[in-house]
């Protein structure tokens, strides 16, 4: 029985400045295992986290459709380490897992570029797909043709991720997101073009002072930060513990703190700050994932 295991990193996007153009893959992974069943109902069945089931099914269907083949009986098992609905790209990670897993069930007839194209057609945030597939720091431009590139990080820094539990956050954040076609949003969006470029350069060279300067809350992101209780107190605690820059990932509420000091000290300070704010939080000291999607196949 052919079994495919796909491991996908968390594709954290925007970092407070990009608008679907910049992402950084972190060493926090979802894993999807797909295997062909000798008999049974065609389609995907098995144990999957609730938030992933529909996404994985769409991904598998898209690959088999592109290959002009019917879907056989497939058993699926998913293990989630990326906290869902925190702005950490969990949906994109499952999408990439389903697409690359299905392709390898078919003995990998489609090249990586074709799989990225399929994923772009299904993804809510295409930049997260690029990040999950290739790892590291990535840039992308939507539209035709699909354009994306990876940027090598030349100097080291550490990342500490904080994923708070704020049940009402996502719905309120979606209400706050501006219509990007609205004239009042055009100035802030234009500013982000330059700031995203500078953020990429800051990450490439580990220039945390520059990263801090370009990721300051703007008219588009400030309302999102405001949805995190005691945000300014949390920020002060993180800076006092050595954070060179702190920013939302995606639309939040997860925060990424960048440091060249002790990540353990920073992690403790953040946990204490969120505890004082009475906000449950999960904290991770993480490496940058430079590999991207990883696949193993057994028979």
Instruction: Please tell me the predicted confidence (pLDDT) of residue 180.
Output: 41
Mean pLDDT by 10 residues, the chain (299 residues): 93 86 96 91 83 92 96 94 96 98 94 95 92 96 84 96 96 75 53 85 97 90 92 97 96 97 97 98 98 94
- Is the Cβ–Cβ distance between 4 and 297 less than 8 Å? yes
- Torsion angle, CA of 120/125/126/129, rounded to 10 degrees? -100
C-alpha to C-alpha distance for 70 and 184, rounded to whole angstroms: 48
* Tokens standing for residue 101: 């897993």
Domains and CATH numbers, the chain: 3-152+288-298 (3.30.230.10), 158-286 (3.30.70.890)
pLDDT reported for residue 124? 85
Q: What is the pTM of this model?
A: 0.93
pLDDT of 144 reads: 77
Q: What is the pLDDT of residue 153?
A: 96
Q: Give the pLDDT confidence score for residue 189 in this predicted structure.
A: 61
């Amino acid at each position: 029985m052919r079994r495919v295991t796909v491991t996908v990193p968390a594709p954290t996007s925007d970092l407070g400045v990009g608008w679907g153009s910049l992402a950084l893959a972190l060493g926090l992974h979802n894993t999807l295992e797909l295997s062909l069943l000798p008999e049974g109902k065609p389609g995907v069945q098995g144990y999957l986290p609730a938030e992933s089931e529909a996404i994985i099914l769409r991904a598998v269907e898209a690959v088999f459709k592109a290959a002009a083949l019917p879907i056989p009986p497939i058993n699926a098992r998913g293990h989630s380490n990326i906290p869902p609905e925190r702005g950490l790209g969990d949906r994109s990670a499952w999408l990439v897992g389903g697409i690359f897993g299905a392709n390898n069930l078919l003995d990998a007839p489609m090249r990586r570029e074709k799989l990225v194209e399929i994923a772009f057609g299904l993804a809510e945030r295409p930049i997260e797909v690029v990040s999950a597939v290739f790892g590291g720091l990535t840039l992308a431009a939507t539209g035709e043709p699909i354009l994306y590139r990876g940027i090598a990080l030349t100097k080291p820094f550490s990342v500490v991720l904080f994923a708070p539990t704020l049940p009402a956050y996502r719905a309120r954040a979606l209400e706050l997101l501006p219509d990007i076609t609205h004239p009042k949003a055009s100035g802030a969006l234009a500013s982000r073009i330059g700031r995203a470029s500078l953020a990429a350069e800051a990450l490439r060279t580990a220039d945390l002072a520059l990263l801090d300067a370009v990721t300051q809350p703007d008219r588009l992101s400030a309302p999102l930060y405001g949805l995190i209780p005691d945000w300014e107190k949390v920020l002060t605690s993180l800076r006092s513990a050595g954070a060179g820059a702190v920013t939302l990932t995606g639309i939040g509420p997860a925060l990424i703190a960048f440091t060249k000091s002790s990540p353990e000290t920073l992690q403790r300070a953040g946990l204490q700050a969120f505890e004082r704010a009475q906000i449950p939080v999960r904290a991770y000291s993480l490496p940058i994932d430079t590999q991207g999607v990883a696949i193993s196949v057994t028979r």
